Amino acid sequence: MPRLLTKRGCWITLAAAPFLLFLAAWGADKLWPLPLHEVNPARVVVAQDGTPLWRFADADGIWRYPVTIE
């Protein structure tokens, strides 16, 4: 019987799967990092109390609004 189908082999496979998934994600991040230095955020002019007065689109013409967790 193959080792993966035995009871012990099944538990070892289930225990190793999250680790291997994390290792693959970490490796992909190191090989293909996100281009964060190329991001140009949109500009928002705010009043003294923090409310937006005027919004400007970014270089691609996309409107972005700041979001806060309340």
Three-state SS letters, the chain: CCHHHCHHHHHHHHHHHHHHHHHHHHHHHHHCCCCHHHCCCCCEEECCCCCEEEECCCCCCCCCCCCCCC
Query: What average pLDDT score do residues 32-37 get?
Result: 85
Query: Could you tell me the pTM of the whole model?
Result: 0.44
Residue 2 has pLDDT above 80, yes or no: no
Res. 1 pLDDT band, cuts 50 70 90? very low
